[in-house]
Amino acid sequence: MALDELHARYRFAAVAILHTEPQLSGIADARNSLKTVLAADYPDLPVRWHELRRVTGASLIDITDQDTANDYMRGVLHVLRDYRAEGYTIHLLVAGGRKAMTIYATLAAALIFGPRDRVWTVLTPPELIREGLFHLPPGRRDQALLVDLPILPPRLLPAEHATLDDPLALIAHRRDPRQALLSRLTPAEQATVALLEQHPYASNEELAGMLGKSTRTVENQLQGIYRKMIDLCDEAETATSKRQVLLDILAGRV
């Protein structure tokens, strides 16, 4: 039903189905039915199947604990990353099924999606959600409501793309804005920030004197620090005082 609605709006190069181990997870019949109906109703649309597995290579059956949740999210992220690397615009549909899987798939998208990518869910009346019904009956097409979930494009530096193999480490890193900012600074910028943290009310001229540098050098360093800070904090871009935002980050208030 969702594909019918999306297909009316967009031209798709392929459909990718992400799924768990089909036999043990009890989705084999549904998978086979979906394969049949896609081949019959969308014969010109290539279909790619991606079985998500544990990080060890073992079968992934369901999300039952933290480890399987992490493996599921990592698996979804890797598939999405590969399609983005190939240059595709991605429309990720999260609808029905396990709520935990929907949540983790959306979180994976939030780590990697660009401004043109979309996350969708579909709302349909309960009486139309039944086995064997793959398309809405004539006259009821308007009862399938597609909802575009708001996903902010991430701001990843090139060096951070490598950490997508371990999305949990990336999330932990992003949860600490202070450390995330400091890790982006050069040694000279770190020294300037450390001094500013000790003397938050010092002028640029006073900081320069304590560092043994020219005022222009300190000003240039601060401008570079602010640019890197904006990549981490949306509010910094429009803030009246970028220095105050910097001090808030360093003090853990952001």
Alpha-carbon distance 75 to 105, whole Å?
A: 9
Q: What is the pLDDT of residue 213?
A: 94
Q: What is the pLDDT of residue 30?
A: 87
Residues of the chain with pLDDT > 90, as a percent, come to 39
Q: How far apart are the first and last CA of the chain?
A: 42
Mean pLDDT, the chain, whole residue set: 85
Asked if residue 37 lies in contact with residue 71, where contact means CB atoms within 8 angstroms, the answer is: no
List of domains in the chain = 2-149 (3.40.50.11700), 177-250 (1.10.10.10)
Q: Which of 31, 18, 2, 131 is nearest to 73 (CA)?
A: 18
Which pairs count as long-range contacts for 150-158, CB under 8 Å and 24+ apart, including other chains?
A: 151/106, 151/109, 151/110, 151/113, 151/117, 151/118, 151/119, 152/110, 153/113, 153/114, 153/115, 154/110, 154/111, 154/112, 154/113, 155/231, 155/232, 156/112, 157/184, 157/231
User: Does 29 or 153 have the greater pLDDT score?
Assistant: 29
Cβ-based burial of 137 (10 A; exposed 0-12, middle 13-18, buried ≥19): exposed
Looking at the chain, how many residues does it have? 254
Out of 23-32, 46-55, 83-92, 182-191, least confident range = 23-32
- Total-model pTM: 0.68
pLDDT band (50, 70, 90) for residue 167? low
**Mean pLDDT score, 214-241:** 83
Residue 149, SS3 per DSSP: strand
Alpha-carbon distance 81 to 79, whole Å?
A: 5
Asked if residue 238 lies in contact with residue 254, where contact means CB atoms within 8 angstroms, the answer is: no
Q: What is the pLDDT of residue 97?
A: 63
Instruction: Dump pLDDT digits (tens) for 22-32.
Output: 888 888 888 99
